[in-house]
Amino acid sequence: MCGRYVVKSPSAKLKVKFHLDDAPLFEPRYNVAPTQLVPAVRQEDGKRRLAMLRWGLIPSWAKDAKIGYRLINARADGIATKPSFRSALKRRRCLILTDGFYEWKKLDEGKQPYFIHMKDDELFAFAGLWESWHNPDDGEEVISSSIITTDANKLMEPIHNRMPVILRAPVLGQKVFQ
C-alpha cells in the first residue's frame, strides 16, 4: 500500500512532462501524508490541468470527511464494485504526480523503510480517482483523491504485497483518461 510519497519536481517540470495547460506553484515535499493537498492531473473541458487535491477520497454521499482517512488507497481489484469508488472510476480519474514513494518491509526486528523511484529518477504518476464532496456543516467543497493499488510486481514483492499502479508521463497526444 502507499502511505507516504515524495513530490519534489517543480511545477514547471510537471507542466512540461505531463503536457499541462497550467500548473500552480507548490513547495517540494519529501513526506506527503494522507489528508494533505497533492498535485494531480485532471481532464477539464478537454484539457489537462493540475489541481491540488486532498489525499483520502471522501465519497459524495459521506456524512463527514473522516472517511477519507480510510480511503487513501483503492484496490484495483475491487473499485468497480465498491460504493466508495464506483462513481469516481466511471467519471473522475486522475494522475497523482510523484517522484517516488515509501514502503516498509516487515522484519523480525521491526520495519525497514525503502524509497521506491524510477531508475532514472524521472517523475511519474500513480493512477488515481477523485471526488467532490460538500461539507454538510458549512457547504465547503472538498476535492479529494485516492491512489489505485494493485498486486506487487517482481521488484516490489520482496518488500510488500501491494503497490500503487504506476504510469509514466504520457506522450504528447496520448489519451490518458478513458
Active site residues: 2, 103
| CA angle, 38 then 39 then 43, to 5° | 130
Q: How many CB atoms are located within 10 Å of the residue 61 CB?
A: 11
Cα torsion 125, 170, 88, 145: sign:
positive
| Coil vs helix vs strand at 75 | strand
Q: CA-CA distances (angstroms) from residue 155 to 118, 162, 168, 171?
A: 12, 11, 17, 25
Tell me the β-bridge partners of 42: 49
